[in-house]
Amino acid sequence: MYLNQFLLLSAALFAIGVYGVLARRNGVLVLMSIELILNAVNINLVAFAAFGNQLAGEVFALFVIAVAAAEVGVGLAMILLLYRNRKSIDLTQIDLMRG
Amino acid sequence: MIDLLTLAVAMADLPLGITEGGSWFLRNAWLIPLLPALSFVTILFFGKRMPRGGSELGIAVLGIAFILSILTAAAWVDHRDNYHGEEVHASVVAVDHGESGDHAEAGHGDGHAEASLAVVSTVTWFQAGGVEFSVGTLVDGPAVMMLLVVTLVSLLVHIYSTEYVHDDRRYTHYFAFLSLFSASMLMLVLSENTLQLLTSWELVGVCSFALIGHWWEEKPNSDAALKAFLTNRVGDMGLIVGVSILFFIVGSALPDRFGSFSIAETNALAAAGMLPHTALLVAACCLMAAVMSKSGQFFLHTWLPDAMAGPTPVSALIHAATMVVAGVFMIARLYGVFFSGLSIGGSSINLMAVVGGVTTLVGASLAFVQRDIKKVLAYSTISQLGYMVMALGVGAWTAAMFHLFTHAFFKACLFLGSGSAAHAVHSFDMKSDMGGLRKVMPHTYKTFVIASIALAGLPPFAGFWSKDEILAGTGGWGILGGTGGNGAYTLMLVMGMVTAAMTAAYMTRCVYLTFHGEYRGHGHPHESGPRIIVPLWILAGLAMVAGLLNLPSGFQLAPGSLQERFGHFVEPVAGYFPTITHATPSWSLAIVSTLVVLAGVAVAGRYYFGRVEAASAAAGQSLTELPDGLTTRSALAMKGYTLLSNKYYLDHLYTGIIAGGTKGPVAAAAYRVNQNVIDRTVDLAGETAVSAGRFVYDKIDQIVVDGIVNASGRVSSDTGEELRKIQSGKVHDYAAILFAAATVLAGILIVIV
Amino acid sequence: MVAQNIAFAIMAVTMLVSAVRMVTTRNVVHAALYLVIVLAGAAGIFILLGAEFVGVTQVMVYIGAIVVLFLFGIMLTKGSFGDDDGVGGERRSMAVMVGALVLAVMAAALIDTFRDAELSRAQPSLTADIGDLIFSQYIVPFEAISVLLLAALIGAIVVARGD
């Protein structure tokens, strides 16, 4: 197995995640795309851990999962609040901070 | 000039021929001009309140001045031979310019072994820029002589004027200016330096102007006054330039001074040959211009006849005896300059002699065609002044001064006599208003005739002695076997002789027209009062005997002690006077000149006393000329007459051509240049500035500068406008930018690192 | 070796297709389910790489909790149930461009750096070793993570409170 195949896989997932963040209207879906990105990063980390025969990469990947969980919790809470106030979570409609 | 290559400049010690000691009168001669000056001020301010309108003060002051002059003259007579005090020397740069070498030595062949030291007393007026300006007196022979002449004639004129201008509209003013004139003239003759000479020269000119124009309400009088003043001004330019040149060239010979105005130093240096010849020549020519205007030499004489518009006593004092001789006196004073500059010694022609000679002829020729008695006398004065200048030009210094002395007396007598006659008939026109006056005015007639004989130069009256000395001094007689002299001025001798004949002739004419024949006027003339008669007799008496003061040396008919008295006391033998030779007079010259004069009298006498008298008797009325005279028969003679009566067209030249040409075309051209060239240049400068300003404002300021400022503002706002659109408020846009930027950064990092 | 490669290939393709479907589908719930597939595939990759503990944790936490959380969120925001056609055309091309850019840069870097690096693992990693590492070397991050989770918990409650 080549290292590169894992890395390229993770890069592809990352790119798709970026596309998802930029191209989705629904807030929840944006959060999901972010999860995709984080997972790609995880794959990257673990691949390097296997490549270098060390466990630091795996530990880091565990931490990333924990952080992702926390972030999703807070993010969804904000989305809910947004929905409560505006009755819509269409991110393209939210531009009160427009210059 | 000084040879600058010599390291050590050689210094010499030059005795100046002056001293600062001497009798009290000689050292304090400045009192003599001071008194009339004070009387001028007093008369001007208080004269109207005096019982006789200020004239008594003037007469008193002039009397005191006359007495002081006599005492000063006595002191000088004593001083000249007996003074052995300290002589003033000057330390000068010794450069010899090759002129007359020895000086102040006993080099005279006539027995003047003793040097005469002039008395100088000065005070420093102020100092400026290293030049010291002083005021003072230089008392020597000529100064003392002039003091006597001026004070005496002025005193007599004062007395005469009290009757002549009695009841005049400006009586007090007249006497005030007479005093001022006397003071100025006295200051002129006592001047110690050329600056003082210049100042008093101008002052007498101003007094002349004021007195000629005394009755200025009539335009001809004020015109005459202006003409006198302006013509004198022309010559005064020469005086100023000449004085300046002398100042500087004297300064180059004195080691530590810028220059010097001192007459003694100037003359001493010039006589010793320490001044550059060319500069002296130029200075002498410039000073000659001043003499030509002030002393009425040809061609600046035109003001003198017109000056007869003033009162007759003024003409007697100023334009006969004193002011017009100021030019002659100035030459006599600065004789060292002229003698060296014009190279008078040893040549046969020079500028001064020619000018003098021509003047004598011109004056005499014009005296023949005058109707106005004063104008005859004016031209006669011009002619006699020409004699004096000619004498100075041939080196006969003493002769010139002696002629000045005698001329003052008989010319003043003639003028005052003409005034007396005119006062009686209330007119000056001989041909129409006078005639036959000898019967009613015997005193006037007798004094006039005596003075005329003196003027013509018949022995033993004064004019003969002085004129003969001049003729001898020309030295031209030597060719015909006779005398010595400073040169061989034969031409001047001829001119002098011819003029002597003419003088006699026109005076005969004048006497006939005024006093002989029958009375042609309309009034009742009578003899004038004693205040007129007495001065006339005094002057006539002097005209008779004054000649005996300077009997020529070697004159067998007189005792030796009387010979050359005048010359001994008047001519300086000192460092500041050049060495001149004296001509020996000869019997033959005296006899020939007397015969010439008698010939003139005879020709005129035959015409007037003979033929005109006969024609008058035949016609039954008093005629003034023959009805079929020469001018009616010959066209050439008529042309000559016209030339003379137009005064050689000189007035035409001055007024019409020179002044008119300047007033007309020159002034118009100058005006055109001013308007078109100068004004247009200024306007153009202004317009250029205005249009430049407008251009700058419109194009540069409004468009460029404001544009830049506006553009910068607009760029900022437009950029901000564009950048504002990035802030859409939408999360997606922010995220897109974030990711894109991060990727680009990563790419750059990868490439570089 | 061959079996691993085939396994990897299948999992990779599945993951990619699901990911693409996830970001392009209109249906929100479908998107969540596609996410599940991706997450599962990730877990498989982990196990393939010998990181068993991470793989199991992945399944438990991600699929078990986070996806459920997502589904709750979708349910509570029911106004947008079922419809999401993505952003407008301009933004979409911008997104494609950015995505492509990201992929290009990373791919270029990776290929350039790790051309033929081989990956070989002798044995899968032991959980005990991971535990040792966490509690010795990385104790501070561990504690920090726990505080973070606490903070997130409190934060989420505070933010989403009804008053």
With 0-12 / 13-18 / 19 or more C-beta atoms within 10 angstroms meaning exposed / middle / buried, residue B94 is middle
The residue of chain B nearest to residue A97, with distances taken between CA atoms, is B729
Residue among C91, C101, C105 whose CB faces B732 most closely: C91
Q: What is the pTM of this model?
A: 0.66
Q: Using alpha carbons only, how large is chain C's radius of gyration in Å?
A: 20
Give the residues of chain C that fall short of pLDDT 50.
Answer: none
Of residues C57, C91, C70, the one with CA closest to residue C22: C70
Q: Which two tokens stand for residue B444?
A: 């006037």
| CA-based torsion, B22, B24, B29, B30: positive or negative | positive
Report whether A57 contacts A41 (CB < 8 A): no
Q: Tell me which amino acid residue B707 is.
A: G
Report whether B413 contacts B380 (CB < 8 A): no
Q: Using alpha carbons only, how large is chain B's radius of gyration in Å?
A: 38
Residue B118: CB atoms within 10 Å:
30
pLDDT at position B275: 86
Residue among B732, B733, B747 whose CB faces C105 most closely: B747
Backbone dihedral region for residue B653 (phi beyond 0: left; psi -120 to 50: alpha; all else: beta): alpha
pLDDT at position C80: 56
Within 8 A of B733 by CB-CB distance, chain C residues are 91
Residue among A21, A23, A98 whose CB faces B729 most closely: A98
Within 8 A of A85 by CB-CB distance, chain C residues are none
The residue of chain A nearest to residue B728, with distances taken between CA atoms, is A98
- Do the Cβ atoms of A22 and B730 come within 8 Å? no
- State the architecture of C2-125 in CATH terms: Up-down Bundle (1.20)
Which residues of chain B are at the A interface, by a Cβ-Cβ cutoff of 8 Å? Answer: 724-732, 735-736, 739
pLDDT along chain B (753 residues), means of 10: 50 77 83 93 88 88 94 88 76 62 37 65 81 87 91 94 88 92 94 92 93 91 92 92 92 80 86 86 92 90 90 89 88 90 79 91 89 91 93 88 91 92 84 82 92 89 86 70 62 88 91 85 82 91 84 65 72 78 76 89 86 77 70 76 81 80 83 85 90 86 85 91 82 88 91 80
What whole-number distance in Å separates Cα of residue A41 and Cα of residue B749? 20
Within 8 A of A97 by CB-CB distance, chain B residues are 727, 729
3-state secondary structure of C3: helix
pLDDT at position C1: 65
Residue among B727, B735, B736 whose CB faces A98 most closely: B727
- Do the Cβ atoms of B736 and C109 come within 8 Å? no
Low-confidence winner among A24-38, A52-66, B133-147, B255-269 (lowest mean pLDDT) = B255-269
Residue among B724, B728, B736 whose CB faces A95 most closely: B728
- Do the Cβ atoms of C94 and B747 come within 8 Å? no
Show me where the domains of chain C are located: 2-125, 126-163
pLDDT in tens, B266-324: 888 888 888 888 999 999 999 999 999 999 898 888 899 999 999 999 999 988 778 88
Q: Which domains does chain A have, with CATH numbers?
A: 3-93 (1.10.287.3510)
pLDDT at position A35: 94
Tell me, yes or no, if A72 comes closer than 8 A to chain B by beta carbon.
Answer: no
State how far residue A97 is from chain C, nearest Cα, in angstroms. Answer: 19
pLDDT at position B480: 53
Tell me, yes or no, if B734 comes closer than 8 A to chain C by beta carbon.
Answer: no
ipTM value: 0.90
State how far residue B747 is from chain C, nearest Cα, in angstroms. Answer: 6
